[in-house]
Amino acid sequence: MSNLNQLEQLKQFTKVVADTGDFESMRAFQPLDATTNPSLILQAATKPQYAPILEKVIADRKNTGLTGAKQLDDIIDHILIAFGLEILKIVPGRVSTETDARLSFDIDGTVKKARELIALYEKAGVSRDRILIKIASTWEGIKAAEIVQKEGIKCNLTLLFSLPQAVACAEAKIQLISPFVGRIYDWFKAANKREYTGAEDPGVQSVTKIFHYYKHFGYATEVMGASFRNVSQIIELAGSDLLTISPDLLAKLAESHDPVTRKLDVAAAKSAPIERLNLDEKTFRFLVNEDAMATEKTAEGIRKFAADIVKLEQVISSKL
């Protein structure tokens, strides 16, 4: 048993990020950064304590002269920024704000949206250093992120389930990636009808492999494990650059005093025998297609985030 709880121990090896749209959770656990996505914003936006944010944005943007889809798009962007601005008052680091998942196969559309979101933050007086624009790890998403990264717009490539996706991000000099541990675990658990624990967890193994690859070849892209299902997955990835964790799991870590040791180590990665993966678009698409889990989970994630944006639009429409 340690004097420090598991959350405090974890923070010695890894930057802890809150995976929530809920401000109170962030205040309670004092993470460095925070990540949001359409599903989290939808959850938060439908809670009574966040209604004033929604109402204010709608009142402010009601008479811009925009109508229909353009008006909804404008209001959603301003809602995302409103949540982001509130979060930045709580966390000392960065907030991740997601582009519309319906742009996941649209390079130009994603570039335009990333620039619009950054412009709104800058207009509100926030430096672009404190913002990560979240984009799905499709070929088009990675190419769009590569373009805006060169403009100093830092990106968080999300819905990432495989090494080829991670390698393409590193080659594109993306700021940060979010490999989804829990969703990988979900897929293998359902496919193989068995439970996984500790280091044998396929989600843990995937992030470990990506971390080792990045550190071996000296890539600067940050690795942030995401989408956890249990504390064991988090503990197995202690030493990752960052981990983004939901409030319920942050609470469990804070309650336990079991020891946490560094599992991911840069020195070990540098000396490991790792083969370099050479990717062009055709190779990327083929390798991701060969990985049934990565293909299915990326597609499912895009569908879910797109559906939640539509639900958020319906919530807004009902208030207009």
Compute CA distances 293 → 14, 150, 161, 290, whole Å.
Answer: 27, 31, 8, 9
Q: Write phi, then psi, for 102 (nearest 5 degrees).
A: -70, -10
- How many C-beta neighbours within 10 Å does residue 178 have? 28
Q: Which residues pair with 170 in a beta bridge?
A: none
Tokens of 53: 């944010």
Q: Kindly give the pairing relationship between strand 176-179 and strand 33-35.
A: unpaired
Residue 134 known to be catalytic: yes
The sign one gets for the Cα dihedral 275, 279, 283, 284 is positive
Q: Are 159 and 137 in contact (CB under 8 A)?
A: yes
Cα distances (Å, whole numbers) of residue 16 to 30, 89, 242, 260, 265: 9, 17, 6, 14, 17
From the list 11, 15, 113, 134, the catalytic residue is 134
Residues whose CB falls within 8 Å of the CB of residue 203, separated by 6 or more in sequence, listed in order? 179, 180, 181, 182, 183, 184, 185, 188, 227, 229, 233
138: left (phi over 0), alpha (psi -120 to 50) or beta: beta
80, 98 contact by CB (below 8 A): yes
Q: Within 10 A of 300 (CB to CB), how many other CB atoms are there?
A: 14
Tokens of 139: 């070929």
Neighbour count for residue 292 (Cβ, 10 Å): 10
**Alpha carbon distance, N-terminus to C-terminus of the chain:** 55
Active site residues: 134
